[in-house]
Amino acid sequence: MVLPVRVRLAGAKEQAQIAHTLDATEGAVRLAGFRGDLNAGDVIEIQYRHERALLRVVWLRPLENSSEKHIGAECVDPDKNIWGQEFTHQTDQYEEKE
C-alpha cells in the first residue's frame, strides 16, 4: 500500500521529512521519497496520521541521478501497528503447511 508518512531520525530535533510507503506490513516497511541522511542500523520514527512507531533501518538504496533514497526498515516494537488495519498472514511456499 502507498501511504504518505513523516520520517525523522529518532530523538532528533530536526523537522520530519515527507516520504511514502512502497510496501508495509505489521513489522516492516519499504519507503521511497526520503532525501535525508541515514545509515543502516539507525532508528527512525515514522508517523502515519497520528500514530508513530520506531523502526530500525535495515538497508538503503540511493536512486540514480536523484537525492531520493529507498529505505527498508523493521519495527523495533513488533506489536506496534500504526497502519490502522490488520494484515492477513499468507503462508508462502517455504513455510511448512499444517
Domain 4-75, CATH class in plain words = mainly beta
Residue 17 pLDDT > 80, yes or no? yes
Alpha carbon 74 to its chain centroid, in Å, reads: 7
* Share above pLDDT 90 across residues of the chain, in percent, rounded to a whole number: 58
Q: Which three cell numbers stand for residue 84?
A: 490502522
Whole-Å CA distances, 7 to 35, 59, 65, 93: 10, 15, 22, 34
Neighbours of 59 (CB within 10 A): 10
Q: How confident is the model at residue 2 (pLDDT cuts 50, 70, 90)?
A: confident
Q: Using one digit for the tens of pLDDT, what is the confidence trace for 18-48? A: 999 999 887 899 999 999 889 999 999 999 9
Q: Which three cell numbers stand for residue 97?
A: 503447511
Residues 6+ apart with CB under 8 A from 47: 5, 6, 7, 16, 82
DSSP classification of residue 21: E
Q: How confident is the model at residue 86 (pLDDT cuts 50, 70, 90)?
A: low
